[in-house]
Amino acid sequence: MIAVVESIPTPPVAWSALVPILAFTGAALLLLLVSALTPRRLPRGTYAVVTVLASAVAMGGAVGTWLQVTDTAKGPYTVISGALTIDGFTAFLTVVIAAGLALSALLADGTLRRQGVHGPEPYVLLLLSASGGLVMAMANDLIVLFLGLEVLSISLYVLAGMNARRSASRESAMKYFVLGAFSSAFLLYGIALTYGATGSTNLTSIHNFLAADLPQKEGLLLAGFALLLVGLGFKVSAAPFHVWTPDVYQGAPTPITAFMASVSKAAAFGALLRVFVVTFSGYNADWQPLIAALAVLTLLVGALFAIVQDDVKRMMAYSSIGHAGFILVGVQLASQQGTSSALFYLIAYTFLVVGSFGVIAVVGGDDEGHHPLSDYRGLSSRRPGLALTFTVLLLAQAGVPLTSGFLAKFYVIGAAVQAGTYWLAVVAMLSAVIAAFLYLRIVVAMYMADPEDATDEPAAGPARRPTARLAIGVRVAVGLALAFTLVVGILPDRVVGWADDAVPVLTTVRH
């Protein structure tokens, strides 16, 4: 095979490695086709089930990939002429993205229909968007990375405006589109400058070039770093590129917000790790301070702006910015531990954030116009189970022990300490304390706001909004998020091991 590669015009494709991407795109096309050909609406929940099945297939594919690449005889490799890297990192992020997609789809099934959004379109777009995310996480070439980003983003622009009857949703889509296009331009320009400085867009080639000799146009390269960072920083909503986040998160339908906060962020962090930590590893001294500054700013913005919000969805938007700050700390370290901690944080955060938005979707009810904190007053007596679940998810986000959220913070702090950046660890923890105030505000509203409500028997409790039965999809999604948070929080050994082994590699050594 090595010998004949030169003579074949089309590159060989290791289809087995592409199972996750094919599952997502295939399921998307299938949904489109079937719903176009069948005259009547499909039974309720079909779309979500198909999406969940596609996620399961993708996870299966990721497991296959994992077994393959962790086998010492085989190891990581690239496919499609070095366009995509297949390594443990890919497999791990595939699981994260598939989990985020499946949970978001389950939420969407429970909430979107009630808001009058029927049809397969949300699920098709979610699947396509997630496939773009996969490409981003796997990309071994800056152009492929850009393609993945665009597939991810363009689907998301439409998804944000899915509920077109609501002006907030339309506004959210418009804002996201304009700013997203802007950031794409930055990223593209960054790719161009990097290409100009190194002569390639392939990450392996770039790395080899930078390792071999000093580029003559170093200014060009550094400008390329900065612009790439702006482009990816926008996607992970790192301050100061975060300003779109609260508005878009608030305006978009809640399941879509959950998807944005989980999948889109995971994909962008995957790209950030692969491009900066792996490819530009020789230039750590140049980009580390930049990301450190971003991390500190992001942590502080996420914590300080969150506590002055009165809308729960906006609070969660800022809290997701704070989480991005934590993950950036892991990225900034440019070490194996840093990367593993960022990965662990991502998987823990994905479940936390989707679970939290699931609760918000339930409490928000049908109109979803706004989510004032006062809606949560007395939730503990109206829906004790839901209030307790939300409390666990919020405390996990605050970093209370025996939850996955605490361990995620613990690993990031551990990695920072191992790298000797104590100050960053302290700043991160202090910002977590500030952010804890935000989560406590919501808990206070649920449990301590109305003492007269709290004394009422739950059965006879006054309901401010009609407490409809929870859709099964929402139940499953929130339940899974809660279970993951607690199980991994108490017995994390396995997941930690995966995150440890899932470091990204450049397949400079061909097997």
Q: CA–CA distance from 294 to each of 190, 230, 287, 302, 331 (Å)?
A: 18, 10, 11, 12, 11
Q: Phi then psi for 117, rounded to 5 degrees?
A: -100, 105
How many residues in the chain? 511
Of residues 206 and 425, the one with the C-beta less far from another protein: 425
Minimum CB–partner distance for residue 461 and another protein (Å) = 11
Of residues 21 and 432, the one with the C-beta less far from another protein: 432
Minimum CB–partner distance for residue 495 and another protein (Å) = 10
Distance CA 430, CA 72 (A): 42
Minimum CB–partner distance for residue 365 and another protein (Å) = 25
Of residues 258 and 398, the one with the C-beta less far from another protein: 398
Q: Which residues contact 373 (CB under 8 A, 6 or more apart)?
A: 310, 311, 312, 315, 441, 442, 445
Q: Which residues contact 158 (CB under 8 A, 6 or more apart)?
A: 125, 173
Tell me the residue type at 392. V
Of residues 158 and 499, the one with the C-beta less far from another protein: 499
Q: CA–CA distance from 52 to each of 9, 27, 124, 482 (Å)?
A: 37, 10, 12, 18
Of residues 219 and 401, the one with the C-beta less far from another protein: 401
- Torsion angle of the four alpha carbons 259, 261, 263, 265, in this order, in degrees rounded to the nearest 10: 160
Element (H, E) at 480: helix 472-490
Which pair of tokens denotes residue 447? 């449990």
Of residues 21 and 396, the one with the C-beta less far from another protein: 396
Distance CA 86, CA 68 (A): 9
Of residues 286 and 456, the one with the C-beta less far from another protein: 456
Q: How far is CA 220 from the centre of its chain?
A: 30
Please, what's the largest Cα pairwise distance for the chain?
Answer: 80
Q: Which residues contact 9 (CB under 8 A, 6 or more apart)?
A: none
Minimum CB–partner distance for residue 507 and another protein (Å) = 26
Which pair of tokens denotes residue 126? 């979610």
Contact criterion met (CB below 8 Å) for 461 and 450 = no
Distance CA 88, CA 504 (A): 7
Distance CA 339, CA 350 (A): 16
Tell me the residue type at 394. L
Distance CA 241, CA 298 (A): 9
Minimum CB–partner distance for residue 488 and another protein (Å) = 11
Of residues 290 and 454, the one with the C-beta less far from another protein: 454
Minimum CB–partner distance for residue 369 and another protein (Å) = 28
Of residues 290 and 402, the one with the C-beta less far from another protein: 402
Minimum CB–partner distance for residue 394 and another protein (Å) = 11
Minimum CB–partner distance for residue 431 and another protein (Å) = 9
Minimum CB–partner distance for residue 407 and another protein (Å) = 8
Of residues 125 and 343, the one with the C-beta less far from another protein: 343
Of residues 196 and 384, the one with the C-beta less far from another protein: 384
The 3-state DSSP composition of the chain as helix, strand, coil percent (nearest 5) reads: 75, 0, 25
Residue 109 DSSP SS3: helix
The contact set with another protein (CB under 8 A) reads 395, 398, 400-402, 406, 409-410, 413-414, 417-418, 422, 425-426, 429-430, 432-433, 436-437, 440, 444, 447-448, 454-455, 457-458, 492-493, 496-497, 500
Q: Which residues contact 71 (CB under 8 A, 6 or more apart)?
A: none
Minimum CB–partner distance for residue 340 and another protein (Å) = 10
Minimum CB–partner distance for residue 188 and another protein (Å) = 39
Cis upstream peptide for 240 (omega within 30°): yes
Of residues 50 and 347, the one with the C-beta less far from another protein: 347
Distance CA 146, CA 191 (A): 9
Q: Which of 187, 185, 182, 192 is nearest to 220 (CA)?
A: 192
Minimum CB–partner distance for residue 398 and another protein (Å) = 8
